[in-house]
Chains A and B, each alone.
Chain A
Amino acid sequence: MKHILKYTTVIALFLGFAACNNDDDTPQVVNEEEVITTLTVTLVPQGGGNTITLTSRDLDGEGPNDPVISISGDLTANTTYTGAVTFLNETETPVEDITEEVVEEADEHQVFYVPSSALNVVFTYGNFDSNNNPLGTVFNAETGDASSGTLTVVLRHEPQKPNNGTLADAGGETDISVTFNVTIQ
C-alpha cells in the first residue's frame, strides 16, 4: 500500500510538470545570418561612360521563388572596366554586407568570373589575399568585339589556393553561383 502511495506521488509530479509547461511563449524568429540574398557586380568603364550593374536578388533564399536577375545595360566593345562585386544579406535589418567578411577571410575565399566561350571578355584579378593569391572582389574586365553569351559569377568557400583559375581545380564549396546573360556591343 505504501508503494501505491509512492507511485501515485510520481504520477502526480509528472502531471504537475506537464501542466507547468503549458506556457504559450511564441518562439523568436530566425533570420538566416549567413544567407547571401543579393549579388551586385558593378562595372565602371575606364575613361568614362555608363556604369553597368548586374544584380541577382533572392529574398526567400532557398524558398521556392527564383532569384530576380537585372542587368542595367549592355557592355561596350573594346573597353576596359573597373569591376567590383558586393554580397548582401537583405533579410537582416540593417542589411548585412557579407563582402566585408569575405575580404576579411580572403585566404578562404575566391571569386571566379566565367564567361561563356562566345563572349569576348577577359577578366583579371584586382585584389589578393595575404599570400598574394587572387581574391576577386575587385577586378578588371576587358571587352573585345561585339558578342553575347553568359557570365557566371561564382564565390567559392575554402577553395584550394593557389589554383589554376578554373573552378574544377579550385574545388571548395559554392557559396554563390549566378549566371547573367550579357551582350557586348
Chain B
Amino acid sequence: MKNLFVAVFMFVNMALSFSQQCNYTLSGKVIDIHDETPLSGATIVVAGPEIAVLSDLNGDFEVSNLCEGEFVIQVSHPECSTEVFKVLITENTSKTFKLEHHLESLNEVIISGKGFTTKTESLLENSLNEEKLDNFSNNSLGDALRELSGVSSLNTGNAIVKPIINGLHSSRITLINNGVRMQDQEWGAEHSPNIDINSATKITVIKGASALQYTGDAIGGIIISEPTRIPIKDTLYGKSIFSFSSNGRGGSNSTSVIKGFKSGWFAQFQGTIKRYGDFEAPNYILSNTGNFERDALVRLGQNKIEWGWEAQYSIFKNEIGILRASHLGGAEDLVTALNSEQPLVIEPFTYKIDRPSQEVTHQIAKFSGFKKLTGLGKLDVSYDFQHNQRFEYDIRRGDDQGKPSVDLRLATHNVNIGLEINQDPWDFKTGVVMNYQDNFANPATGVRRLIPDYKQLKIGGYTIANWQANEKISIEGGLRFDYTNMDVFKFYRTSFWELRGYDVLFPNIVVEEYGNQILTNPDLNFNNVSATIGASYKVAKNWNVLGNFSLASRAPNASELFSEGLHHSASRIELGDLRFKSEISKKLAATLQKKGKFNFTINPFLNSIDNFILIEPTGVEQTIRGNFQVWEYRQTEATLVGLDFNFSTPLFKNVSFNNTFSWVKGYERKSNKPLINMPPINFSNELRFEKNKVSVSLKQDYFFRQNEFPNTNFEVFLAASETTALIDVSTPPDAYQLWELAADYQFKLVKNSNLSIGLKVQNIFNTSYRNYLNRLRYYADDIGRNIIINTKINF
C-alpha cells in the first residue's frame, strides 16, 4: 500500500516536472553496529555529485539538493572500516548507516558477540559518550553522571561529589575503571570516586546488579568507565582540552596522545591538571573550598586479533579544601551555625588550601590479556594492584597542627579470569575473581583509628548465560557467589565494649587490654549469593521492552561494622555494629524504550532490601567538649521505588528538545518511615539548536523540595541564654531551579585537526540555593554563577 502511494506520488511528481527534481534530502544517522552508539565525525560522500558531509555529535547527517536516482554512498569514520551503501532516492529519505566501530580494537572483538559487548541485556544502560564527557573535563565524574536520569549525587561542598543511583550510594555502587574494580575507600559519604573523568571516553551506568561479571554486591548499580579504543593501524592522534572557570578562578587542562601501529602495538599517555581557588556562592566567598587535582595515565599493549595484552599505570591525586565554616565543636556550635544566614567564617579569596582538607592519592597498576580459543570463545585474564592513600587534615592544636587526623592506606590485589563461550544462539561467560586487601591506619596521627587495620580476602565465581531465542527475544540469567573473610584488629573503648554487651557476646576475640581501650581481633566471614534473570523483547522496529530481576547481596563494610567515635567532618559520634549481616536486595526493573528521532525511555523499578544498613541519630552524648549527637548504624527492611524517564524529540529544523525526570521514594517497611538522603523529585528540560558546527543549548534543572524525610532533630541546653534550643538538622531546603546556557563552535584547523570552542554559563541567574544532598548545606549556600570557557583541540 505504501509502495503504491510512493509510486503514485512519484508519478505525480514526474508529471509535474519535466526535468529531474533535485531538491531531495537524504538525512539519517551513523551508528556503531554493536551498541548502536551514534558515531560523530563520520564522512558521508555521495558519489556522482561528490557531496561530502560530516555526521554531528549525535551521529546525524543531512545531504540536501539531491536529484532523484540511485546513489553510491561511502561512509567512513577514523576508527571504523569504510563501508559503501546504495540508496535509491525518490523522495526525502532517511537512512541509518551502521559501521563496524573499532573493527580491530582490543576491547571489542567481534567474536565476543553481542551478548557481552553490552554489559547486560535486560537492564537499561545509560551512557555518556566522549563529546558529553569532554564538556565535563573541568568537573568530576559525579557531576557528569548527574546528566543521566535516575543518577544524582551526594556532595560535600562542590569538589566531593559521590554518585547516587536510584537513591543508593557509597558501598552500594561499584565503579569499574578500565576493567578494574575501584577499591578506594568508597564507604565514606565524603569520599568521592578517584577517577579522572578525562581518562574515560564512555561511561555507562547500569542501575542494578545484573552485570554479574563485575560484581554481585552492587545493590545500587554499576558505573563503568572505559578508556579510548585504539585502532590497529599506524596512527598518532590525540586531544587537549583547556578550561577556565570564573567561579573558583581556575582552570584545567587534560591532554591525551595515542600512538597505534599496524603491528598491533599501541600506547597512550594522558595527563590532567586542575587548579581552583575558593569558590563563591552568590553572596559570599566559600572560604577554603579550592582544590588541586593532578592525574596521569600510561597504557601500553599489543593487540593481535587472536590475542592481546595491555599494561596500564595510573595515578590520581586530589587535594580538596573543606569549607572552613563547616568545622565545628559540639552541638552548641551547630546552633550558632544553623542560625546564621551566612557561613561563620568568610575570608578573602585565596588559592591556598588550608585545614580542614583532604589529600587522596590513588594508584592503579594493571596487566590484562586475552586469547581467542578457536571454536570456543575467548579467555581473559587480568591482575591489578591498587594503592589508596587518604589523608584528612583537621584544625588541631599545638604540636599536632601539621599532622593528619586520618591517615589510611588501602592496598588491593585483584585477579580476574573470565571465559566467554559463544555457541549460537547461546552466549556464556564464566569466571573467577580473587581479591586481597590490606588496610592500614597509621597510629602516628594521634587520633583513634576511624577505620581499623584489617586484611580481607574475597573469592568469587560467576556464570552468565544469554539465549537469543529469536530475532526479537533474548533471555539472560546469571549466578554469582562471593566469599569474604575479614581479619580485623580493632581497638574499642572499654566503656563502649561493655555498654554494647560485646564483653558477653564476643569474649573470645579480646587480644589485650590497654587502660581504657581494649584490642580485639574479629574474624568475620560472609557468604553472598547474587543472581539475575531477565529478558528483552523487540516489540517492533525501534520499540523495546526490557525486564530484569536481580538478587544482590553485600557484606557490610568496615565503616558500618567498626565506626566508634567522633566523626570530625560530620561533628557527630558514629557507632557501627559488629553483629551486622549482609544486605540482601531484590530489585525488579522494567524498561520501555522507543528509539529513533522521537525517542523515550520509561524505567520504573522496585528495590526491596533486607538488612538494609542505615545510620540515624539515637541520642545526645555528653562529653567534656560539650554535647554531640550520636548516630548509630542499624539494620532494617527497606523498600525503594521509583521511576526514571527521559525523552527527546526534534521540534523544528535544527532544534530539539530533551527532558529527563526522576523520582524515587525510600522508606522502612515496618515503620513506613522515610529513608534519609533520598534525592528529591527532579527534572531537566533542554532546548538544543544544532546546525553544521554550531550548537547552542539552554537547560533548566528543577529540584523539588524533599518532603519525605526522617525527623532527626534534637534539643540541646544552651548555657549562655539558659534556654533549650531545637537543632533542626533534618528539614530539607526549599525547591530551586537552575538555568544553564551552553554554546559550542567547531572548526577545522588543518587537515585532521579540529578546534572547538565552547562557552558555558551555569546558574545564569546567580540563584542562591541549598541542596538537600549537600552535606555542607547547613553552613553555606551552593555555588553561584559560573562562566566556563572550553577549548578543545583534536589532532
Interface residues of A (CB under 8 A from B): 3-4, 6-7, 10-11, 14, 17-18, 21-22, 26-34, 36-39, 56-67, 91, 98, 101-102, 104-105, 114, 116-117, 150, 152, 154, 156-158, 166-168, 171, 173-179
Contact = CB atoms under 8 A, between A and B. Distances in A.
A34 B404 CA distance: 13
B722 A117 contact: yes
B672 interface: no
Contacts of B132: none
A175 B625 contact: yes
Interface string B408-426: 0000010101000000000
A173 B325 CA distance: 10
Given A10-B415, A28-B443, A37 B396 contact: no
Contact of B493 (A26, A60, A156, A167): A60
Contact of B436 (A17, A66, A101): A17
B383 A67 contact: no
B397 A105 contact: yes
A32 B717 CA distance: 27
Contacts of B581: none
Contact of B400 (A21, A33, A154, A158): A33
Contact of A64 (B369, B398, B496, B514): B496
6 tightest A-B CB contacts, nearest first: A174-B329, A152-B719, A33-B446, A177-B626, A101-B398, A63-B493
A173 B516 contact: no
B328 A27 contact: no
Given A7-B369, A34-B446, A39 B329 contact: no
Contacts of B447: 30, 32-34
Given A26-B512, A62-B566, A179-B719, A34 B621 contact: no
A18 to B, nearest CB: 5
Contacts of B566: 62
A166 B720 contact: yes
Nearest to A29: B514
B328 A34 contact: no
Given A37-B624, A173-B327, A29 B517 contact: yes
Given A56-B624, A152-B719, A30 B516 contact: no
Interface centre among B333, B400, B499 (most CB of A within 10 A): B333
Contacts of A18: 413, 436, 457
Contacts of B413: 14, 17-18
5 contacts: A21-B455, A31-B517, A62-B621, A63-B495, A104-B398
B578 to A, nearest CB: 15
A60 B516 contact: yes
Given A21-B455, A39-B624, A62-B565, A177 B446 contact: no
A11 B383 CA distance: 8
B359 to A, nearest CB: 20
Contacts of B491: 27, 29-30
B579 to A, nearest CB: 17
A66 B621 CA distance: 8
Given A18-B457, A26-B512, 17 more contacts: A10-B381, A18-B436, A26-B519, A26-B521, A29-B514, A29-B517, A30-B491, A34-B397, A62-B565, A63-B495, A63-B516, A64-B493, A65-B495, A104-B398, A150-B722, A174-B332, A177-B626
Contacts, number: 175
B625 to A, nearest CB: 6
B453 interface: yes
Contacts of A17: 413, 436
Nearest to A36: B624
B554 interface: no
B494 interface: yes
Interface string B461-499: 000000000000000000000000000010101111001
A150 B719 contact: yes
Nearest to B722: A116
Contact of A176 (B367, B443, B511, B626): B626
Contact of B328 (A28, A56, A61, A173): A173
B307 interface: yes
Contacts of B573: 62
B623 A171 contact: no
A32 B397 CA distance: 12
B344 interface: yes
Given A64-B496, A175-B625, A3 B371 contact: yes
A77 B399 CA distance: 42
Contacts of A3: 307, 309, 369, 371
A59 to B, nearest CB: 6
B13 interface: no
A34 B401 CA distance: 10
Interface in B740-794: none
A31 B332 CA distance: 26
Contacts of A11: 383, 415, 417
B489 A27 contact: yes
Contacts of B309: 3
A166 B719 CA distance: 11
